[in-house]
Amino acid sequence: MQYYLEKNVLEAALDRIRWLYDEFEDVVVCSSGGKDSTVCFNLALQVAREKNRLPVNLLFIDQEAEWQATIDYQKSLMYRDDVKPYWMQIPMKMFNSANFHEGFRELWKPGEKWIREKDPISIKENIYGTDRFQDLFNKIIITEFRGRKACYIGGVRCEESPARRSGLTQSTVYKGETWGKILSTKERKYTFYPIYDWSYRDVWAYIAKNNLPYNKIYDIQYAHGLHTLKMRVSNLHHETALNSLITASEFEPETWDKLQEAVAGSNSIKQLPDTIYCPSDLPFMFKDWKEYRDYLLEKMVEPQFQEKFAGKFKRMDARYEQYEHINAVYQAQITAILTNDVYFTKLHNFEGHDDLKKYRNTRRKNVW
């Protein structure tokens, strides 16, 4: 059930950010170069000016395989006088979902040829105790703001994933507020999402009405006919971004030339785009979708990840075995295999779908 306030989403977001600046010694805006972080940055900038808290701390973890338009936009922010830049171009590892055999790709590896050169103002040494991209956010805020009460501002919105709605509206994170997550209670570090209740229409309306600079890759994607909810501006070999490899040669030819050399499997995705989608019809040689899934699990998933995938599928099978649309579950699992989704990002989003949540709740009621 949704409850509506008398204030609009813009007023609510500004009040939330004002509260964050009052509560925390340090506030850090996370920027991916996308539309949501563009909104968060400009809202934080407005509040920081009001409260005499400039410059705005701005974090960008540069994943090397990025759109050039994303880098151009991020650079325009990082060089502002009212910004304190935390532009991370540090050695790290990120999973390459474009290739089944490479596994983790080493970004910014010393001595290697990079997709592009590092920026003069970026942070280049990894002093954070981890080389995994997923863990860096926690480590960076703890290291850079040690001993101080600090929080991130992130551009996550519930509209993007039904699973996020329950995650950001049910569990208390800090002083009764739910719209964030705890990074470390001991270190007094948190992440908050002040525009969690915005729609993508709200986001673009705010950008347009205020004539804000934004990442121009959106214009190219829009002209190509991509739906606004399908546009991605960040890393190009992430499991949710493989579609970008299909269009990269058209959108940014120079970026595509570099990607082919650096990212294993990128050209295969480009030439065989259907391989990252579950087929609409069951291949004739399999009796059902489950058998097809298990075949792909055995033949396509690398041995070191097979147990992880098998365990996830086993838990899902037990949960949804009586679900009327069980084939949809198998098809989602097949998509996870085809996109090499070792972190199950797509499956988590799938399980957050309203129909599946209702089904789980019904089963829980029946048990009790």
* pLDDT at 17 (0 to 100): 98
> Is residue 58 within 8 Å of 85, Cβ to Cβ?
yes
pLDDT at 259: 83
CA distances, 304 to each of 99, 118, 294, 308 (Å):
14, 33, 16, 8
Instruction: Indicate the angle between helix axes 9-23 and 200-209, nearest 10 degrees.
Output: 80
Whether 17 contacts 180, CB under 8 Å: no
Cis peptide before 194 (omega within 30 of 0): no
**8 Å CB contact between 323 and 359:** yes
Paired strand residues for 60: 87
pLDDT tens digits along 239-249: 776 777 778 88
pLDDT band of 366, cuts 50, 70, 90: very low
Is the pTM above the cut of 0.85?
A: no
For residue 79, give the amino acid letter: Y
Residue 165 has a pLDDT of 57
Using the 8-state DSSP alphabet, how is residue 144 labeled? Answer: H
Residues 282-341: tens digit of each pLDDT: 999 999 999 999 999 999 888 888 999 999 999 999 999 888 899 999 999 999 988 888
Domains in the chain and their CATH numbers?
1-267 (3.40.50.620), 289-367 (no CATH)
Predicted confidence at residue 286, as pLDDT, reads: 95
Token pair for 80: 């502002």
Q: Bigger pLDDT: 77 or 228?
A: 77
CA proximity to 235, closest of 92, 86, 38, 43: 92
Mean pLDDT of the chain: 88
